[in-house]
Amino acid sequence: MAVRDITIGQYFPADSPLHRLDARTKILGTVLYIVSLFCAHSFSALAAAAVMFAVCAALSRVPFGFMSRGLRPVLVIIAFTMVLNAAFTAGGAVLVTLGPVRITSGGVRRAVFMAVRLVLMIFGSSLLTLTTKPLALTDGLEKLFSPFSKLGLPAHELAMMMGIALRFIPTLMEETDKIMKAQTARGASFGTGGPISRAKSLLPLLVPLFVSAFRIASDLAMAMESRCYRGGEGRTRMNAASLGRRDLAAAVILAAYMAVVLMINGSPLA
């Protein structure tokens, strides 16, 4: 797997209703969606969540292939939780017995349920970063946090840190790719041999990467300071985001969706 295949936190440029929503609406919507996934206790409730995701994904005009590419690295984790859930959940008829481990129908059911929930959670939250520019995202976060700043929460600093972290992902990926190529040109091979030689082969990659990260960070700090950055106090925006009719519509749809999930949970369908 090449480093550049990791698309976590990447923005996908397109013009869609989802792209045009205010970042705050999308952040709260994503949080609500994750909450709904944890509220859902049945497959039918998860089906409702899947439908919701499908509609949003279609609206976002982000190709599904591009979205699922980011999921590939997480597949290992999902497979791992599936195995754990299947092996250690009791209940229902015993399907297979492997030594001390008994795989039951209840275990399999739970494993599938958890996997679907995880997949929906990752896909759902990736939609947020895919349709929101990092800058809009941090602005949204800052505004959402700002009521708490009276309680001493450094809202601006937190948002700025998050924004810089997001912005650094592609930069560090690029840097990794560059250093990897430079060392490969000197005959290094990554990802071959046993675990020890593999770990050792990472040293020529990690040392320059850390040096680069510090260099880039200090360059950035210098650039910010030379443009008189001194924290969030008294800072205003050139393009202030405002909530519109579109965001109201989104809120209504989300509320309706949440109600549906809760209703399915309480209904005989569950």
Partner 1 sequence: MLVEVRNVTYTYNEGLPFETTALEDVSFSLRPGCFSALIGHTGSGKSTLLQILCGLIEPGAGSVLADGTDLYEKTGAALAARRRIGMVFQYPEHQLFGETVLADVCFGPKNLGLSDDECRERAFESLRLVGLDPDEKAGISPFSLSGGERRRAAIAGVLAMRPELLILDEPAAGLDPKGCGEMSALMRSLNEEGTGILLVSHDMDEVAALAKQVLVLNGGRVAMEGTCEEVFSRGGELARMGLSLPAPAAFMSAMAQRGYPTEGVALTARQAARKLSALFGKRGGNGV
Residues in contact with partner 1 by CB under 8 A are 13-14, 63, 66, 178-179, 181-189, 203-208, 211-212
Residue number, 181 or 235, with CB nearest to partner 1: 181
Residue number, 65 or 268, with CB nearest to partner 1: 65
Residue number, 7 or 25, with CB nearest to partner 1: 7
Distance (Å, rounded) from C-alpha 34 to C-alpha 258?
A: 11
CB atoms within 10 A of CB 118: 17
Distance (Å, rounded) from C-alpha 51 to C-alpha 230?
A: 45
Whether 40 contacts 116, CB under 8 Å: no
Residues in CB range of 58: below 8 A, 6 or more apart: none
Whether 91 contacts 106, CB under 8 Å: yes
Angle at 185 between CA 180 and CA 187, to 5 degrees: 95
Structure tokens at 78: 């999902």
Residue number, 95 or 182, with CB nearest to partner 1: 182
CB of 130 to partner 1, least distance (A): 13
Structure tokens at 112: 């599938």
Distance (Å, rounded) from C-alpha 85 to C-alpha 88?
A: 5
CB of 12 to partner 1, least distance (A): 8
Closest to 170 (Cα-Cα) out of 27, 70, 22: 70
CB of 6 to partner 1, least distance (A): 15
Residue number, 49 or 179, with CB nearest to partner 1: 179
CB of 205 to partner 1, least distance (A): 8
CB of 29 to partner 1, least distance (A): 25
Residue number, 120 or 180, with CB nearest to partner 1: 180
CB of 126 to partner 1, least distance (A): 16
Residues in CB range of 121: below 8 A, 6 or more apart: 34, 37
Distance (Å, rounded) from C-alpha 126 to C-alpha 121?
A: 8
